[in-house]
């Protein structure tokens, strides 16, 4: 940072930041700086900059102050009423407020990652084209058109080893080459931003924090396959992402980065947004195309594949947000650089949305091949309340569960599939000893059953039948034959379903039976839930030997079903108890059984 450089105040304004009051914090910084004449006082301009998601959304509002004296200092949980103090002390008096700094784990959370795709998120103003241009924005498409040809662009992506980040892991360059080889003057590029996995927000954060990189990635793909038009299919539940992406599109058309003869390069490319209604099945590419065409979002049999006959029967290439966000970096920094990251079969980095029973939830971007253990313990700080790790569900609602004994599984496509899970779009749900694996399987199967379009019989009927069995088991009405029935049905549904939803929906059941069969047997044979989770199988009592007389259960109970006095063992009043599990979750000593 040069001596005359402006002081920068970066305020996280992803969806999480905005919901926690980031706009009010930004307004207060602007007001205080102007009213106090801070620019004149310190002899430098203070730039207040809104940015996209940093990843650690649980600590919003996050504010970074970058000065010559102290470099970059992060403050978390910032409220508007604290802004004047931060300006006076940190900017005017040049004194870091040590007690208000983000805790040391924030730096660990950031330092253990490798930011490639998210390099602009949390760094630049996503609503300013100039901010993107300062980060070599649109240099990659310029290089493609001026110094390369479509075939060499595809070859570069192939050499990089980029695989689709939407779940299937199909090599991106190979996918582009199929579409490029298809005859026809009209071809389409589609960005799949229909992010439907519960707890996943990778694509949303990229669209909110760096929308121009998606536009450029799609332009490069369009040039490579010979497409002059594209769609970003994004769910309507992402209003901020849509707003910022539309703002970026409008600016690109105004400045000549989209439309006819973009950037004077003799290359035409048009792009528009299509809002989806939130159907999970529309994440499947043929259902997505049907939705764009105005039809009900239902999968189509393949072949023909979209590369041959896609949107409006024209050759079409579909990749997800994270895939397109990688492309400009490959072109600018070279295929060899990108291929040096990750593993032999999974190159580059991968973004994960880590949630569940972990200390620090949020978005993390790590090199492919980092172990699941390192993601949970090194990046995210380990299990909340220092409880025992039990499993992690990888790959969204259609993924499988990885138990503690194979926690050193690398996060790459082949290793996760071998473990009975999948990469998916990048969801990791962490579970501890209080989690019932039978109930987890029921929860995810209930989701996929609800989201099934119902077109094919295995998915429509089969998932409902499996769900009925799981519900019986969790209610203590399971039968000895249920486990084998679930295995047989799950295998059949995977083979016979029309699209990826049905083909992967049984994964949570099959993987939990593989690794946690004893829990199914306890539910069925002993009528007992080992994790004390399934309500119908719980007795509810306080174990006197384990109770430390802290009163945490009393504070958590919403119906006054706990009797407790200081220094006394808690007592549970069963007549009032609704079995909501609030006391069980609040007790760190496992004294509630």
Query: Which residue reads 């009423």 in tokens?
Result: 81
User: What is the per-residue pLDDT across 374-412, written as a single tens digit (0 to 9) for each?
Assistant: 999 999 999 988 889 999 988 888 888 889 888 899 988
What pLDDT shows up at residue 4? 53
Q: Residue for token digits 């790959």?
A: 395
Write out the residue range of the structural domain in which residue 445 sits: 437-525
Residue 2 lies in a domain: no
Q: Within this chain, do residues 424 and 441 fall inside the same structural domain, yes or no?
A: no
Can you give the CATH number for the domain in which 301 is found?
Answer: 3.40.50.11540
187 and 299 co-located in one domain: yes
In terms of domains, do 368 and 387 share one?
Answer: yes
DSSP secondary structure letter of residue 247: H
Predicted confidence (pLDDT) per residue in 301-359, tens digit: 889 999 999 999 999 999 999 999 999 999 999 999 999 999 999 999 999 999 999 99
Mean pLDDT of 138-163: 96
DSSP 461: I
Is 532 within the bounds of a domain?
A: no
Which of 282, 12, 54 is closest to 166 using CA atoms? 282
Looking at the fold, whether 313 and 358 belong to one and the same domain comes out as: no
- One domain for residues 454 and 550: no
In a domain, 212, yes or no: yes
| Strand extents, DSSP E, 52-205 | 63-67, 71-75, 188-193
8-state DSSP, 62: P
pLDDT tens track for 466-486: 999 999 999 989 999 999 999
Query: CA separation (Å) from 325 to 122, 125, 224, 387, 492?
Result: 15, 17, 16, 37, 37
The answer to whether the pTM exceeds 0.75 is: yes
What CATH number does residue 557 fall under?
3.30.70.20
Q: What is the pLDDT of residue 66?
A: 94
Q: Higher confidence at residue 131 or residue 427?
A: 131
Mean pLDDT of the chain: 91
pLDDT for res 1: 45
Taking alpha carbons only, the member of 13, 118, 123, 196 closest to residue 365 is 118
Domain assignment present for residue 344? The answer is: no
Residue 2 has pLDDT above 70, yes or no: no
**Which CATH number belongs to the domain containing residue 59 in this structure?**
3.40.30.10
Final residue of a domain: which of 397, 432, 467? Answer: 432
Q: Write down which residue in 432, 450, 469 finishes a domain.
A: 432
> Which residue, 131, 45, 125, is CA-closest to 91?
45
Rounded Cα distance, 438 and 474, in Å: 7
Residue 441 shares a structural domain with residue 422: no
Is residue 219 located within the same domain as residue 331? yes
Residues 159 and 286 in one domain: yes
Q: How many domains does the chain have?
A: 5
Name the residue with higher pLDDT: 478 or 542. 478
Residue 120 lies in a domain: no
CA distance 78 to 175: 45
**Do residue 577 and residue 504 come from a single domain?**
no
Cβ neighbours of residue 458 under 8 Å, at least 6 residues apart? 492, 493, 496, 497, 502
Tell which of 432, 450, 471 closes a domain.
432
User: Taking a C-beta distance cutoff of 8 angstroms, is the pair 172, 195 a contact?
Assistant: no
**pLDDT score of 542:** 82
Q: Which of 575, 574, 592 is nearest to 583 (CA)?
A: 592
Q: Is residue 299 part of a domain?
A: yes
Please tell me the distance from the alpha carbon of residue 133 to that of residue 590, in angstroms, as a whole number.
54
Within-domain flag for 117 = no
Do 404 and 492 lie in a common domain? no
Please indicate, yes or no, whether residues 480 and 590 belong to a single structural domain of this protein. Answer: no
Q: For residues 448 and 567, state if they share a domain.
A: no
Q: What is the CATH number of the domain that holds 457?
A: 1.20.1440.230
Considering the domain boundaries, does residue 14 fall inside one?
Answer: yes
Count helices and strands in the chain by DSSP H and E runs: 25, 15
């Amino acid at each position: 940072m040069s001596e005359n450089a402006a002081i920068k105040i970066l305020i996280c304004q992803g969806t999480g930041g905005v919901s926690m009051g980031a706009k009010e914090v930004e307004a207060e910084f602007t007001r205080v700086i102007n009213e106090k004449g801070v620019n004149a006082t310190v002899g430098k301009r203070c730039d207040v900059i809104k940015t996209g998601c940093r990843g650690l959304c649980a600590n919003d509002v996050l504010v970074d102050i970058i000065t010559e004296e102290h470099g970059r200092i992060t403050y978390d949980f910032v409220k508007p009423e604290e802004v004047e103090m931060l300006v006076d002390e940190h900017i005017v008096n040049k004194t870091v407020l040590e007690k208000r700094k983000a805790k040391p784990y924030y730096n660990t959370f950031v330092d253990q990652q490798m930011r490639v795709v998210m390099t602009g998120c949390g760094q630049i103003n996503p609503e300013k084209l100039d901010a993107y241009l300062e980060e070599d924005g649109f240099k990659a498409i310029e290089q493609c058109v001026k110094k390369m040809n479509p075939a060499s662009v595809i070859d570069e992506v192939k050499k990089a080893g980029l695989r689709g980040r939407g779940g299937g892991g199909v090599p991106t360059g190979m996918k582009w080459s199929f579409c490029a080889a298809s005859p026809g003057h009209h071809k389409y590029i589609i960005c799949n931003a229909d992010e439907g996995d519960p707890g996943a927000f990778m694509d949303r954060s990229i669209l909110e924090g760096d929308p121009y990189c998606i536009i450029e990635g799609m332009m490069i793909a369009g040039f490579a396959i010979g497409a002059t038009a594209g769609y970003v299919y994004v769910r309507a539940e992402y209003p901020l992402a849509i707003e910022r992406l539309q703002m970026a599109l409008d600016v690109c058309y105004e400045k000549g980065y989209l439309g006819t003869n973009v950037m004077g390069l003799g290359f035409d490319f048009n792009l528009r947004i299509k809002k989806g209604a939130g159907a999970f099945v529309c994440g499947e590419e043929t259902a997505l195309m049907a939705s764009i065409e105005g039809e009900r979002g239902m999968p189509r049999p393949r072949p023909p594949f979209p590369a041959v006959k896609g949107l409006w029967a024209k050759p079409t290439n579909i990749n997800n947000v994270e895939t397109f966000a990688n492309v400009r970096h490959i072109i600018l920094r070279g295929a060899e650089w990108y291929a040096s990251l990750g593993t032999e079969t999974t190159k580059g980095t991968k973004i994960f949305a880590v949630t569940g029973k972990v200390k620090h939830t949020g978005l993390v971007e790590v090199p492919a091949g980092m172990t699941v253990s390192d993601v949970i313990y090194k990046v995210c700080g380990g299990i909340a309340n220092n409880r025992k790790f039990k499993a992690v569900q990888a790959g969204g609602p259609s993924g499988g569960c990885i138990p503690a004994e194979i926690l050193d599984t690398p996060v790459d496509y082949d290793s996760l599939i071998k473990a009975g899970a999948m990469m998916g779009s990048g969801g990791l749900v962490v579970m501890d000893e209080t989690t019932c694996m039978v109930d987890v399987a029921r929860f995810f199967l209930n989701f996929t059953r609800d989201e099934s379009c119902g077109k094919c019989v295995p998915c429509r009927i089969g998932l409902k039948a499996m769900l009925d069995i799981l519900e019986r088991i969790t209610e203590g009405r399971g039968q000895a034959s249920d486990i084998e029935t679930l295995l047989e049905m799950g295998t059949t549904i995977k083979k016979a379903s029309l699209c990826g939803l049905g083909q992967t929906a049984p994964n949570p059941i099959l993987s939990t039976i593989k690794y946690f069969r004893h829990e199914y047997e306890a539910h069925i044979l002993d009528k007992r839930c080992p994790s004390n989770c399934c309500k119908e199988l719980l007795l509810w009592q306080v174990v006197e030997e384990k109770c430390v007389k802290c009163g945490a259960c009393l504070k958590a109970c919403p119906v006054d079903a706990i009797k407790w006095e200081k220094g006394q063992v808690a007592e549970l009043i069963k007549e009032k108890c609704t079995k909501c599990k609030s006391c069980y979750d609040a007790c760190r000593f496992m004294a509630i059984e």
